[in-house]
Amino acid sequence: MTTVLVVDDQPDIVRLVRDYLERGGFLVLTAADGEQALQVARRSHPDLVILDLSLPGLDGLDVARALRRDGDVPIIMLTARTEESDRVAGLELGADDYVTKPFSAREMVARVRAVLRRASRTSGTGDQAGAAAGPLRAGDIELDEDRWTVHRAGVPVELSPTEFRLLAYLMRHQGRVLTRAQLLESVWGWDYAGESQIVETYVSYLRRKLDPLGPPVIYTQRGVGYSLRPQDRGRAGPG
């Protein structure tokens, strides 16, 4: 069975999420604080972690950092609406999705399934034909999905799992203008409704890491989306 670790210090939330996940066929583990979460994760190796940011003692960001050091387990962050800066910090650490409280338990289950589908495709067990046929190349950028590495002009570039997926998708479709809706569906695997700013946020992260090593490659098509065009030498549009 697919195992999900739910980490939250509010018993009612844990109970609600656990009940819905178990009805959906998941095996659910729980933890009420950060230290317990790391103990359970390292002992049981869950397939996905639902992680509240506001935890007693070791908080959610510290737990996320530790989980990222240990491996690439998918993480869905739980945040309060007033925690925008922490939410952004969680995404920068490589969280795969975030859900704001209060939330629908049925929506949470749908997001869990979407994140797991993405993780399956990234690991090569899903339906992305040819994804592991060899490294992707765009100009002086090389992305190797088997080794999970990115280089630009021979220099290693450290990316979070979500940044890696976004760059891989842009490289696989280089030269095409991809809409925000396409990117949300293909990279995040979920219809974020009014939250398409997550695309802009991650494009900004990629530019921040790639642009210092060479000419800008990610271009903004205003009102539409983005494209990766390594042959161009102009300045990438704002995004």
The stretch 20-33 carries a mean pLDDT of 93
User: What pTM value is reported for the model?
Assistant: 0.61
Residue 83 has pLDDT above 80, yes or no: no
pLDDT for 211: 94
* Shared-domain flag, residues 9 and 118: yes
* H-helix or E-strand spanning residue 50: strand 48-52
Q: Quick one: pLDDT at residue 31?
A: 95
Q: Are residues 104 and 207 in the same domain?
A: no
Same domain, 112 and 21: yes
Q: What is the pLDDT of residue 116?
A: 86
55, two tokens:
């935890």
Q: Once rounded to an integer, what is the mean pLDDT over residues 71-98?
A: 75
Answer yes or no: do 210 and 158 share one domain: yes
The pLDDT value recorded for residue 129 is 38
Give residue 1's pLDDT: 75
Q: What is the mean pLDDT of residues 53-61?
A: 87
Q: What is the pLDDT of residue 22?
A: 92
Q: Are residues 109 and 165 in the same domain?
A: no
Q: What pLDDT, on the 0 to 100 scale, is given for residue 136?
A: 92
Predicted confidence at residue 121, as pLDDT, reads: 59
Number of domains in the chain: 2
**Residue whose entry in the numeric block shows the structure tokens 């790639």:** 210
Instruction: Please check whether residue 130 lies inside any domain of the structure.
Output: no
Looking at the fold, whether 19 and 111 belong to one and the same domain comes out as yes
User: What mean pLDDT is reported for the chain?
Assistant: 83
Are 95 and 146 within one domain?
A: no
Between CA 160 and CA 92 the distance in angstroms is: 7
127 in a structural domain = no
Predicted confidence (pLDDT) at residue 85 exceeds the cutoff of 70: no
Q: pLDDT confidence of 139, banded at 50, 70, 90? A: very high
CATH classification at residue 51: 3.40.50.2300
| 76 lies in the same domain as 167 | no
- 149 with 177, same domain? yes
If asked whether residues 145 and 58 sit together in one domain, one would say: no
Q: Which of residues 122, 150, 183 is at a domain's end?
A: 122
Given 70, 89, 122, the domain boundary residue is: 122
Asked, for residue 235, whether it belongs to a domain, the answer is no
Judge whether 56 lies within some domain. Answer: yes
Would you say residue 233 lies in a domain?
Answer: no
Same domain, residue pair 141 and 104: no
The yes-or-no verdict on residue 237 having pLDDT over 60 is: no
Q: Identify the bridge partners of residue 75 per DSSP, sorted by sequence position.
A: 49
Query: Residue ranges of the alpha helices (H) in the chain?
Result: 11-23, 34-44, 60-70, 84-92, 105-122, 161-172, 180-183, 197-210
CATH number, domain with residue 175 = 1.10.10.10
Asked if residue 46 belongs to a domain, the reply is yes
Q: Indicate whether 114 and 21 sit together in one domain.
A: yes
Convert the pLDDT of each residue in 149-191 to its tens digit: 999 999 999 988 788 889 999 999 999 999 888 888 777 765 5
The pLDDT value recorded for residue 174 is 92
Q: Is residue 128 part of a domain?
A: no
Residue 60 domain boundaries:
3-122
| Residue 236 located in a structural domain | no
Q: Is the pLDDT of residue 98 over 60?
A: yes
Find out whether 7 and 37 touch, Cβ atoms under 8 Å. Answer: yes
pLDDT tens, 187-213?
776 555 445 578 888 899 999 999 999
Cα 11 to chain centroid distance, Å, stands at: 26
Over residues 88-108, the mean pLDDT reads 79
Q: Which of 100, 122, 144 is the last residue of a domain?
A: 122
Q: Specify the pLDDT at position 107.
A: 84
Chain-centre distance for alpha carbon 140: 25
